[in-house]
Structure 1
Amino acid sequence: MQPEIQQPEIQQPEIQLQIIQLKGSSRDYQALAIDTRPLRRLMSPDALLTWKLPPQLDLSRGVVLYGNAPNWFYNHALLQLQEAPWVGFYDLRSKSVVVVRSRQKGIAPGDTLPIFPNREPGVAVLVGGPPNSGKSVLSNALRVAVTRSRPDLQVYLHRANWDGEGNYIYESQNRQVVKHLKQKNKYKIPDLPNADEVLDLYFQERARDTENIRQVIDLTLVDVGGVPDPVKLPVVRSCSHALIISSDPQAVRSWQELCRDLQPLAVVHSVREDRCDLLQTSPYLELVAGPWERDRPASVPQPLLDRLLKLM
């Protein structure tokens, strides 16, 4: 008698799929909204074993994939949508649908279809401060903390700088791969002969990205880099609030001047030791907090998280 083979238990992923309509210039587009927020963690490849297309999805029409999910999930979903005449991915920054596959006349891969969301702009918090103060670490920690505290909110971390950083820096355990990707994706604008012109254009484009993202996202965290250069003013003015983190108290004033048109949210005096001291709550939150290091989990001070959630 052969022993009974135990089949591995397949966990049902907490991924919500909803059919929504995206408003275009001349018609609405059918979209499959992917919502991974209930997971409260990174999506596992096990999701490919159990997810199914909603039966109400009309595969005689084009389909737009919409939402925050890994690239491998999007590619797998694309294979499941082969019956649809065309498939596009929603691009948050350009506020348009990018067609990736089509067998329908008049629509070709690479076409962009503009989308017009019907809502007020969401909150956009600019996170600024001098280099090596923990700005990128704090930005990512805020993204994670708000998502966990309010899974009903759409939160997006917009890296509006050319240093090649992304959320993968904090989600990967392979530091060598992270270092390689950062160097490969770094846009070395200052080395260009027409650096001033390119920088001006670059930050104008990032400002337009921010405005488009705010039309869809409840809370956008905008990491604008470590130098309070006036060339960044288009991005600054596309935000609603300012959060400054600095390891140098003398550098705070220059960032406050750059962000003078924004509503001040908080000033965080960054330190390397484990501490959180509240200095003031009005007219903005001011505290001493740390450490903010890439290789260790960062904890957002509760007063800062509470103040940010109140905006929502």
Structure 2
Amino acid sequence: MVACLNKPLQLTVTEVTGRNGTRYQCLEIDITVPQLEPAVLGKLDLPAELDQSRGLVLWGSAPIWLYSYLIKRCRALPWVGCYSVPLGSFVIVASRCKEMVPGDAFQLVNKSQCSAILIGGPPNSGKSVLCYALARTLKQEIADKNIFLQRAQWDGEGNWFAQMKNRPLAEELSKRSRAKGSEQFFLYHANAVSSMREGMELVLVDFGGMPKPKDVVLLHRCTHYIIISSKPEEIPKWHDFCGKRGGLKPLVVIHSVREKRLEVLPNQKFLEIVAGPWERGETLSIPDELLKAVLKLLTC
């Protein structure tokens, strides 16, 4: 993955795989502000790593005028397509070669792919504990379903971290296994999530750290999101990151507290609860309301 950072807009060159196994060049669009102004076009550069000899798939939530501009800028390429989430395909919109005709659609995502829930929130909110407890509860409640928890985080805290009774040793091992910063980190996990959605019936994605522009490639591989936060003021940032920039559907918002508590808040758009505590090695189950919200994705 190579990124071209043009705040308030980021363009990232990646690779996507078609259902037929063909690899396609992709330009992922990430808007980093609530309202993108057309003036950004005057300073917009395409990534230097864009291969002009290959076709290109445009991918991401963006205004029509930005898509129109990018299609025009890429008119020298063999062909240009735009990805459609409902179709799970990219549609050819401009072409200089006979093999790719405008209107043709090429499937990238199998319609039968399962849902993928990105679980995120600010540090010290209980996210990793929630992920483990949710995965554990789902496997107990629906043992006949294939559920997978993907730990897309830097700290190296897998399920073993939640299961170990020797907490000092667990902390030491976590420090040793902490990942180093890498441009490829979230691209690797994005591709892994795409692959797992082919064979699983539900994928949970433990998203590590605070939102950054380069992390959007992982969002594009998910369908829904859960926010868990001990800081109410941080929740809008996560809605912006997951919902507006990633195009994901909100599933649950958890206001994390340290005391034993469960309160369902009035919200018609998604489940919103106050819940706690989320203690490592102690919290092994989740509220019934949360379980029901997640199980709905398996019956859609």
Normalization by structure 2: what TM-score?
0.60
Aligned residue number for residue 187 of structure 1: 179
What SS does the corresponding residue of 1:295 show, helix, strand or coil? coil
Cα distance in 1 for partners of 2:116, 2:220 equals 10
Aligned residue number for residue 272 of structure 2: 286
Aligned residue number for residue 295 of structure 1: 281
Aligned residue number for residue 144 of structure 1: 136
2:168 aligned to 176, 188, 200, which one? 176
> Structure 1 residues 284 and 202, CA, compared in 2 at 3 Å: closer, same or farther?
same
| Amino acid in structure 2 at the alignment position of 1:120 | S
The Cα RMSD (Å) is 2.0
**Highest CA radius of gyration, 1 or 2?**
1
Aligned residue number for residue 211 of structure 1: 194
| Amino acid in structure 1 at the alignment position of 2:127 | K
| Contact preservation (8 Å) 2:277, 2:283 | no
Q: Which runs of 5+ in 2 are unaligned?
A: 1-20, 22-109
Q: Deviations over 1:27-64 (max 9, x none)?
A: xxxxxxxxxxxxxxxxxxxxxxxxxxxxxxxxxxxxxx
| Contact preservation (8 Å) 1:291, 1:298 | no
Cα distance in 1 for partners of 2:168, 2:113 equals 38
What SS does the corresponding residue of 2:184 show, helix, strand or coil? helix
What SS does the corresponding residue of 2:173 show, helix, strand or coil? helix
Aligned residue number for residue 85 of structure 1: none
| Contact preservation (8 Å) 1:242, 1:262 | yes
What is the 5 A alignment of 1:104-123?
120-123=112-115
Cα distance in 1 for partners of 2:276, 2:213 equals 28
| Amino acid in structure 1 at the alignment position of 2:175 | Q
Q: Deviations over 1:226-259 (max 9, x none)?
A: 3022221111111010000000010000000011
What is the 5 A alignment of 1:1-312?
120-189=112-181, 198=182, 200-260=183-243, 261-312=247-298
| Contact preservation (8 Å) 1:119, 1:215 | no
**Pairwise CA distance, 1:281:** 4.5
| Contact preservation (8 Å) 1:160, 1:222 | yes
| Amino acid in structure 2 at the alignment position of 1:166 | G
| Amino acid in structure 2 at the alignment position of 1:295 | G
Cα distance in 2 for partners of 1:151, 1:299 equals 15
| Amino acid in structure 1 at the alignment position of 2:136 | V
| Contact preservation (8 Å) 1:273, 1:290 | yes
When structure 1 is superposed on structure 2, of 274-283 and 132-141 the one drifting more is 274-283
**Pairwise CA distance, 1:119:** 7.8
Q: Give the length in aligned residue pairs.
A: 189
What SS does the corresponding residue of 1:164 show, helix, strand or coil? coil
| Contact preservation (8 Å) 1:126, 1:223 | yes
**Pairwise CA distance, 1:180:** 2.8
Cα distance in 1 for partners of 2:125, 2:136 equals 19
| Amino acid in structure 2 at the alignment position of 1:297 | T
**Pairwise CA distance, 1:295:** 3.4
Q: Which runs of 5+ in 1 are unaligned?
A: 1-24, 26-117, 190-197
